[in-house]
Structure 1
Amino acid sequence: MKKLVTILALVMLFVSSFAGLKVSHASTNDQGINEKLGLPIVVYGEALSDSQKSEVADLLKVDQHDQVDEFTVNGQDLANYIGGNPNSNMYSSVKILHKENGAGLTIDIVTPDNITQVTKEMYSNALLTAGVENAEVLVASSVKVSGHSALTGIYKAYDAKGVKLDEERMQVASKELDVATSIAEEEGIDKDKISELLTEIKKAIAEQDPATREEVEQIVEEQLNSLNIELSPEDRQRLTDLFEQMRNLNIDFDQVRNQLDDLTGSIQDLVNDEGFWNNLKSAVQSFFRSLSNFISSLFN
């Protein structure tokens, strides 16, 4: 029995070593106060209890920063920014780290098991629609929630710091999130597949610059066919309505496409990161050497 426990301990050691490699790759370790970009911003959902708020602060690693600007988001904020229900309970919380121009937008859902409907790709798409860029955004919740209120928290963070996002773009971004999550749920389609669809439609709009609703509808149909996604006529109409509304806003789709390309490329960068894979290879070799030595000792 003791031997089995030891083997299991070695296995857990290997797993934790691999997890450590991944975490270090996405680390946001504190480097002091950046006087140019300002303090990190943390926005807590108002419905959190004191203990839940403390848990979220730990999840977002708030204590790794010397100072942060902290705010709370509530149902009235939801109503003010995107016309939602002012009586809504807000649980999703966010941390925002502003980055230099050209750094792009990165999203990390710290508690993926508790954000049940919104993927990080959906957040990315919606935030780019709203005009948010050059930032690292972390989302967390201590209870299971859909994840929609995190968007309002991000809007409030920017507003509180004097950055005015376009109201129409914020509302369309919220609608985009609603359309994406509801289609995924109602049609039984993988959320990542829906995110990919939204991304490809935006890229196609940037390339083709449609001038009419009919051309937008054609782009939607082309991308649905390209990704082999079957939707009801009603949901096809909803997508067309959404992107027609986007087309009528002052959105630089070329810039959005570049940001989306950067997001896609970051995944490929990890795949091509020789240092990461060398570290992983070393961890694997070290684990199996330890395991081999232990098993050999059993027979000596």
Structure 2
Amino acid sequence: MKKTMTLAALALAFVLAFAGAASANVGINEKFGLPIVVYGGDLSADEKAQVAESLDVAGEAEVEEIEVTGEDLVTYITDGDARARMYSSAKITRTEEGEGLVIEIATPDNITQVTTDMYANAMLTAGIENATVEVAAPKAVTGHSALVGIYKAYEVNGEQLDPERTDVANDELSVATELSEGGVEQEKVSELLTEIKKQIAEQNPATREDVEQIVEEQLSRLQIELSPEDRQLLVDLMDRIRQLDIDFSKWSTELEDLSNTIGDKIGTVVNDEGFWESVKQFFRDLANTVRGWFN
């Protein structure tokens, strides 16, 4: 009964928020331009339409639509394979300074390896700071190609991303998914990466040995066990991050925000994982219902 009442209260809050957002619609943001939808270049026409529905493209006043291909992968990632298959897609809406990154996976059953926090961590490494990003795929995929699409969207918008940072960000995403496949919970992987990067930002380590010490301290603090091979991957990644041209004083605040978000999620899962999964599904169903009212 208590859970039913909680769901009802959440539903009411959602509907009120939806109505408020609709009444506050200000149209196209002329400061940042149109939202950009990046479709995986290997989608069929039917799959592309399915992704467009998942990303609610029809609900936007106007969008810019582009495609990301294996050729783009080569542009942003060292040793990228131009023959790579690109299915995961994204909608990117730039936001005001200080609003941070808001990531949503619109098709959670179809993005099998990359979590919202993994995307956020990698985007910060790449130099993307303030945006709302929605990711979707029409079938089960890992979700890696969406990150390349996000890079392309930013450059279409006139931003110039540092190719070394985008390459390291891709490496970070690969390490994150490898650690989770090795048995570490996905949220714990995101927490680990964020906390190590926070310490790099605060301590400004001068050597690889300093980075290795930070990694060991955070592994111990978070009680995470890794194989020697995975530890090496993690140290290699963080040493690359140490050497990037990043304003670490600014980065520290952004990472603190991300750390708090991840901590909240972990606490929620620990409290009642099954219940909150039902809440997420409830909201997905409710969103579809409310959207139907306006169609």
Q: Do both proteins adopt the same fold according to a TM-score greater than 0.5, normalized to the shorter chain?
A: yes
Summarize deviations over 1:95-121 as a string: whole Å, max 9, x none: 011111111111111111110000110
Q: CA deviation at 1:267?
A: 7.4
Distance 1:236 1:269 in 2: 26
In structure 1, the residue matched to 2:87 is 91
Rg larger in structure: 1
- For residues 146 and 118 of structure 2, the distance between their equivalents in structure 1, rounded to whole angstroms, comes to 12
Cα pair distance change 1:28/1:254, threshold 3 Å: farther
The match for 2:51 is: 56
Consecutive unaligned residues in structure 2, runs of 5 or more: 266-295
Distance 1:72 1:28, change over 3 A: farther
Return the letter of the residue paired with 1:216.
Answer: V
Change (3 A) 1:28 1:121: farther
1:193 aligns to 2:188 (yes or no): yes
The match for 2:141 among 125, 140, 145 is: 145
SS at match of 1:36: coil
Separation (CA, whole Å) in 2 of partners of 1:131 and 1:258: 14
Corresponding residue to 1:178 among 163, 174, 177: 174
Work out the CA distance in 2 between the residues paired with 1:73 and 1:262. 30
Q: Is the 8 A contact 1:106 1:263 kept in 2?
A: no
Give 1:1-300 correspondences, 5 Å limit.
18=10, 21-22=13-14, 30-82=25-77, 83-185=79-181, 187-265=182-260
In 2, are the aligned partners of 1:44 and 1:92 still within 8 Å (CA)? yes
Q: Distance in 1 between matches of 2:84 and 2:207?
A: 37
Q: 1:85 to 1:262 in 2, by over 3 A?
A: same
Percent identity among equivalent residues? 55
Distance in 2 (CA, whole Å) between partners of 1:238 and 1:28 is 44
Q: CA, structure 1 residues 23+170, in 2 after alignment: closer, same or farther (shift >3 Å)?
A: farther
Cα-to-partner distance string for 1:155-191 (whole Å, 9 max, x where unaligned): 1111122211000000000000001101210x21111
Name which structure has the greater RCO, CA cutoff 8 Å, separation 6+: 1
Instruction: State the alpha-carbon separation in 1 of the partners of residues 263 and 171 from structure 2.
Output: 29
Q: 1:278 aligns to what?
A: none
Structure 1: how far apart are the matches of 2:15 and 2:263? 17
Which segments of 5 or more consecutive residues in structure 1 lack a partner in the other structure?
1-10, 271-300
Q: Kindly report the root-mean-square deviation, in angstroms, between the aligned alpha carbons of the 2 structures.
A: 2.4
Residues 38, 89 of structure 2: 8 Å contact kept: yes
Measured in 2, the distance between the counterparts of 1:237 and 1:268 equals: 25
Who is 2:283 aligned against?
none
**TM-score computed with the length of structure 2 as normaliser:** 0.81
The amino acid that maps onto 1:212 is: T
Measure how far apart 1:21 and its partner are. 4.1
Determine if contact 2:194/2:258 at 8 Å carries over to the other structure: no
Note the C-alpha offset of 1:50.
1.2
User: In the aligned structure 2, how far is the partner of 1:156 from the partner of 1:24?
Assistant: 35
CA contact (8 A) 1:75 1:85 kept: yes
Q: Work out the CA distance in 1 between the residues paired with 2:263 and 2:212.
A: 31
